[in-house]
Amino acid sequence: MQQQNLISMAVSKELQTSLLYQVEQFKQQLVGRISLTTEERRSLTMMGPKSENFARLALVSMKQNAHLIPRGIDLDAAFADLEARDNLIPVLKALQSLVEEIEDTVAALGSDVMVVANIGYGLMKATGGGAGLDEAVREMSYRHKKTFKKKEKPEAESAE
């Protein structure tokens, strides 16, 4: 069996601390950001790709016909929200790409470790008895134990 090496990198506690600090700094720059519950998110009227043109046209038309708009409607606030949204979308896409790369990196690092661990387990299992590794092999074997679900027996068909 050959060792896998998808990735090699060093992430020290110092680098981890620095990265977490930078994330915190980033969050502090986004004054006014909110966090919604799942229920709150579900209840929102969403502006997606299909409704974006509708919303933009509606705002522009409302601005051009301000005399028709009730006083309680803050059109300037709506335009400010639209501008903030437009400016955050590229940031969101960059962060999503970074998160995806970090997820892939973590997965590759874990995979490299698991390949070596499986090689080690196989070696210890083969030679463990004489080397005093029985307890370690027994603990590691739980990962490889197969669990079988009991098949439910079909209920006997009732006689008609």
Render pLDDT for 68-112 as a digit per residue (tens, 0 to 9): 999 999 999 999 999 999 999 999 999 999 999 999 999 999 999
Any domain includes 71: yes
Give mean pLDDT, residues 29-38: 96
Domain with 61 in it: 49-143
Any domain includes 148: no
Q: Which residues contact 56 (CB under 8 A, 6 or more apart)?
A: 82
Question: What's the predicted TM-score (pTM) here?
Answer: 0.77
Q: How many domains does the chain have?
A: 1
Distances (CA, A) of 95 to 38, 39, 102, 140: 21, 24, 10, 37
Any domain includes 86: yes
